[in-house]
């Protein structure tokens, strides 16, 4: 049942996040249709097979949500969903997942935050280890609409698979939808060497901005929430050093 009480402020657990999370109405992803990106992708040399068809994506969504209908839906966020979820949510909590870790393994050569000439780098959710993030609750009566928004964004192209995992919060454990890195796809490179991680992060740029902006947003959220991610902070520092030493490669 949805939380309709006076205490139903989505930010009641973390009021500091209200200024950091972009409202759904202002999100590019709210109304984005995969077909809208076809022309841009064609300019990058990508054919129509770059993405799932609408029919296939919807079939995947319905299959993943089978057995989870009629109740609120929790969605785990570990990357850009943390600050730009694009959905109307009833509640947000700080969260921790065991058995999955945030890894800089999503290599973008398709135009979002990178290109074929200068690939970009973003986070994926890989198996093993643990991960801090946020979890959003979608009210039951909004699940059909909001889950479709999430699927258009996260399952636009082959790189993730939808899974349900236990997520720990200060208010209790919830079962949440998460988008796990699919190691069988071309965009996921969990064995990418450190030097390439640094370069891709330092130089990647696309229609959504730079890879550097992406990781800075991520670290900014961690600072607000008191989350420490030393490996990611080190990677960001090395990427900034790379940008200083190779100014000709830095996006304008």
Grade residue 2 by pLDDT with cuts at 50, 70 and 90.
Answer: very low
pLDDT digits (tens, 9 = 90+) for 17-56: 998 899 999 999 999 999 988 888 888 778 888 899 999 9
- Other beta carbons less than 10 A from residue 206's beta carbon: 21
The overall average pLDDT reported for the chain is: 92
According to DSSP, the residues that pair with 95 across neighbouring strands are 133
pLDDT digits (tens, 9 = 90+) for 219-239: 988 898 888 889 999 999 999
Q: What is the pTM of this model?
A: 0.91
Q: Which of 59, 31, 38 is nearest to 155 (CA)?
A: 59
Q: Which of 94, 102, 232 is nearest to 176 (CA)?
A: 94
pLDDT digits (tens, 9 = 90+) for 149-187: 999 999 999 999 999 999 999 999 999 999 999 999 999
pLDDT-above-90 percentage for the chain: 77
Tokens of 136: 């959003």
């Amino acid at each position: 049942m949805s939380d309709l009480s006076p205490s139903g402020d989505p930010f009641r657990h973390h009021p500091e996040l209200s200024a950091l999370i972009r409202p759904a109405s202002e999100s590019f992803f709210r109304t984005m249709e995969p077909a809208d990106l076809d022309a841009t992708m064609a300019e990058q040399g990508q054919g129509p097979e770059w993405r799932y068809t609408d029919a296939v994506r919807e079939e995947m969504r319905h299959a993943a949500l089978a057995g989870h209908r009629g109740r609120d839906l929790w969605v785990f966020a570990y990357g850009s969903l943390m600050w730009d979820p694009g959905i109307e949510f009833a509640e947000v909590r700080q969260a921790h997942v065991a058995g999955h870790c945030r890894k800089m393994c999503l290599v973008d050569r398709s135009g979002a935050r990178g290109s074929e000439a200068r690939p970009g780098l973003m986070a994926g959710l890989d198996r093993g280890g643990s991960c801090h993030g946020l979890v959003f609750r979608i009210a039951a009566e909004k699940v059909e609409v909001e889950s479709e928004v999430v699927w258009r964004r996260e399952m636009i192209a082959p790189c993730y698979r939808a899974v349900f995992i236990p997520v720990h919060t200060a208010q209790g454990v919830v079962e949440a939808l998460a988008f796990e890195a699919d190691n069988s796809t071309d965009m996921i490179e969990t064995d990418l060497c450190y030097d390439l991680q640094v370069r891709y992060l330092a130089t990647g740029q696309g229609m959504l901005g730079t890879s550097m902006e992406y990781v800075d947003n991520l670290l900014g959220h961690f600072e607000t929430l008191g989350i420490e991610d030393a490996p990611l902070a080190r990677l960001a520092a090395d990427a900034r050093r790379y940008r200083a030493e190779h100014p000709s490669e830095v996006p304008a």
